[in-house]
Amino acid sequence: MSAARFVGGSSTNSIEHAYGPGEAELEIEARLGSGEVIVSVRDFGQWRTPRGEHRGRGLAIMRKTMDEVVMTHGDDGTVVQMSRRLSNAAYEARREPEQARTARPAPRQSFDASATLGGAALRVRRDDDIVIAALDGEVDMTNAHEVFGRIAAVLDNRARGLVLDLSATRYLDSSGLQLLLDLRRRTRFRGQELRLVAALDSPPRQLLEMFGVQDSMPMHAALAEAIAGFRA
């Protein structure tokens, strides 16, 4: 059974378990790297237990057939990430030539866009092949999802990575922390890097350090340091 079939099954599960009748939003990403296929299916609904007597077996089948299946539930939805190793012949037949596979396309022209999202002002700009997103104000459950969407829309495969600048951020709640985890998941999935900027002794930095965020995402006191980290 192919990974494509499991994407279809996982998408069906998302629609059935996360949403009721009406519109449904899904985000599907796939990539080939290091001899394996990695697929991520994300919904933005609320998880519901299987309905019916003979239901709820799809996840067990995926775990038996794929090499790894990780499901993460959160207030903002559910993410199912699956991976499957390819045989040497299959990998060689599918991968791009080494030069094309490792070289990134030329970065897009510089841009600078700003938006007010609830209690926060978001400014997103590009410094060569690095996307810089600066948040001024408060990030909470009222705007975290929209902030993620705005940043994700700009962070394409041309970028080497993302700097999230929290120097002017006054407040983060659990939704703000989830925003960081979602951005980390997205950048890792694409082979990119996420670096954070938070002023020393600022409330956001104290919160991030309390939860050990610096152990999984490089955190800097100044924007210049974060950008230099990509150039090192």
Q: Where are the domains of the chain?
A: 3-101, 112-231
Please give the pLDDT value at position 19: 59
The predicted-structure confidence for 86-107, as pLDDT tens digits, reads as follows 765 444 555 544 444 444 454 4
Q: How many CA atoms lie within 13 A of 90 on its CB side?
A: 11
Please give the pLDDT value at position 199: 92
CA separation for the pair 41, 50 (Å, rounded): 18
The predicted-structure confidence for 45-63, as pLDDT tens digits, reads as follows 776 665 555 555 566 666 6
The predicted-structure confidence for 120-154, as pLDDT tens digits, reads as follows 999 999 888 899 999 999 999 999 989 998 898 88
- Under 8 Å between Cβ of 199 and 167: yes
Which whole number is the average pLDDT over 194-206? 93
The CATH code of the domain at 112-231 is 3.30.750.24
Percentage with pLDDT > 70 across the chain: 66
Architecture of the structural domain at 3-101 = 2-Layer Sandwich (3.30)
CA nearest to 185, candidates 134, 148, 220: 148
Please give the pLDDT value at position 97: 46
Tell me the pTM: 0.58
Please give the pLDDT value at position 5: 58
Please give the pLDDT value at position 51: 56
CA separation for the pair 221, 207 (Å, rounded): 15
- Under 8 Å between Cβ of 167 and 135: no
Per-residue confidence band for 110, with pLDDT thresholds at 50, 70 and 90: low
Largest CA distance in the chain: 58
